[in-house]
Amino acid sequence: MSTLSLTGVSRWYGNVVAVNDISMALGPGVTGLLGPNGAGKTTLLHMMAGFLAPSRGTVTLDDDPTWRNPDVYRRLGLVSEREAVQGFLTAYEFVLASAKLHRLPDPAAAARRAIDLVELESAQDRRIGTYSKGMRQRARVAAALVHDPQVLLLDEPFNGMDPRQRLHMMQLLHTLGDAGRTILFSSHILEEVEQVSGTVQVMVAGRLAASGDFRTIRRLMTNRPHVFAVRSTDDRALAVALIAEVSVSGVELDPTGLTVRAGDYGAFTRALPRIALSKGIRVRQLVPSDESLESVFSYLVEA
Amino acid sequence: MSTITWITARGLFGRRRFLLLLPLPLVLLGLAVLCRSLGVDPGEWGPPVLVGLGLAVVLPVVALIVGTGVLGAEIDDGTVVHILTKPLPRWQIVLPKLAVAAGVSAATVALPLYVAGVLAESVRLGLALAVAAALGALAYSALFLALSLVTRRPVLLGLVYVLIWEGLLGNFVSGTKVLSIQQYVIALADRLAPTGLLETSVSVPVASVMTALVSVGFTVLAIDRLRSFSVAGETS
CB contact under 8 A, A70 and B11: no
Report pLDDT digits (tens) over A228-269. Answer: 899 999 999 999 999 999 889 899 998 888 999 888 878 888
Report pLDDT digits (tens) over A50-88. Answer: 999 999 999 999 999 999 999 999 999 999 888 678 888
Chain A residues within 8 A of B87 when measuring between CB atoms? 70-74, 102-103
Percentage of chain B beyond pLDDT 70 is 97
- Cα(A175)–Cα(A181) distance, rounded to whole angstroms? 9
Do A125 and A80 sit in the same domain of this protein?
yes
**pLDDT value for A91:** 94
Asked if B197 and B43 touch (Cβ cutoff 8 Å), the reply is yes
Do A16 and A126 sit in the same domain of this protein?
yes
Do A212 and A229 sit in the same domain of this protein?
no
Whole-model pTM: value is 0.85
User: CB within 8 A of B114, min separation 6: which ones?
Assistant: B126, B127, B129, B130
Do A8 and A149 sit in the same domain of this protein?
yes
**pLDDT value for A294:** 62
Do A137 and A80 sit in the same domain of this protein?
yes
Q: How many domains does chain A have?
A: 2
- Cα(B60)–Cα(B141) distance, rounded to whole angstroms? 9
Asked if B168 and B187 touch (Cβ cutoff 8 Å), the reply is no
CB contact under 8 A, B230 and A144: no
Do A49 and A109 sit in the same domain of this protein?
yes
Do A227 and A265 sit in the same domain of this protein?
yes
Do A187 and A46 sit in the same domain of this protein?
yes
CB contact under 8 A, A88 and B14: yes
Chain A residues within 8 A of B11 when measuring between CB atoms? 86, 88
**pLDDT value for A260:** 92
**pLDDT value for A93:** 94
Percentage of chain A beyond pLDDT 70 is 91
CB contact under 8 A, B233 and A77: no
**pLDDT value for B234:** 46
Angle at A17 between CA A13 and CA A23, to 5 degrees: 120
**pLDDT value for B232:** 67
**pLDDT value for A295:** 65
Chain A residues within 8 A of B17 when measuring between CB atoms? none
Q: Of A221, A244, A260, which one is at a domain's C-terminal end?
A: A221
Do A150 and A60 sit in the same domain of this protein?
yes
Tell me which residue range forms the domain holding A43. Answer: 4-221
Q: Which of B55, B50, B57 has the alpha carbon at shortest distance from B23?
A: B57
Do A262 and A289 sit in the same domain of this protein?
yes
User: CB within 8 A of A120, min separation 6: which ones?
Assistant: A91, A135, A138, A139, A142
Q: Write the single-letter amino acid at B29.
A: L
Q: Write the single-letter amino acid at A252.
A: E
Q: Which of A171, A275, A183, A283 has the alpha carbon at shortest distance from A233?
A: A283
Q: What CATH number is associated with residue A255?
A: 3.30.70.100
Q: Of A186, A221, A256, which one is at a domain's C-terminal end?
A: A221
Q: What CATH number is associated with residue A26?
A: 3.40.50.300
User: CB within 8 A of A88, min separation 6: which ones?
Assistant: A127, A128, A129, B10, B11, B14
Chain A contact present for B17, CB below 8 A: no
Asked if A34 and A189 touch (Cβ cutoff 8 Å), the reply is no
Do A68 and A212 sit in the same domain of this protein?
yes
- Per-residue confidence in pLDDT tens, chain B, 236 aa: 689 999 899 888 877 778 888 999 999 999 999 999 998 899 899 999 999 999 999 999 999 999 999 999 889 888 899 999 999 999 999 999 999 999 999 999 999 999 999 999 999 999 999 999 999 999 999 999 999 999 989 999 999 999 999 988 888 888 888 899 999 999 999 999 998 889 899 999 999 999 999 999 999 999 999 999 988 644 33
Q: Mean of the pLDDT values across residues A117-142?
A: 90
Do A179 and A214 sit in the same domain of this protein?
yes
